[in-house]
Amino acid sequence: MANANIITLNEANFKAEVLEAQVPVLVDFWAVWCGPCRMIAPLVEELAEEYKDRMKVGKLNVDEYQGLAAEYGIMSIPTLLLFKNGQVVTRLVGYQAKDKLVQVIEKYL
């Protein structure tokens, strides 16, 4: 992944990077073949850069980690979950405009 501020999530690091994080974590559940996932990717990268000092951003490939996707009820992608203190506080399904994402993030910082 090109952006150093985005964590590539997997079963081995999900607990430490997301559930035990001391800051909010935005997790992008995506897949390579998903057109809307590719459309939202630049926005996720921008947010990772803009909020790098106040939150974490991670991406989880649902094709590679179907168990984790199922655990969080991911039925369609892209789905963005915002975690705070190890709990899901917001679920956004489908493509989202940047202003909507910023509004949601600001609410939990």
Closest CA to 85 of 68, 103, 108: 108
Active-site residue, selected from the candidate residues 25, 26, 37, 60: 37
Active-site residue, selected from the candidate residues 10, 23, 31, 34: 34
37 is catalytic: yes
The residue written with tokens 């975690």 in the block is 83
User: What's the rounded Cα separation, in Å, for the pair 71 and 100?
Assistant: 25
Q: Please report the DSSP string for 37-96 in residue order.
A: HHHHHHHHHHHHHHTTTT-EEEEEETTT-HHHHHHTT--SSSEEEEEETTEEEEEEES--
**Catalytically active residues, by annotation:** 34, 37
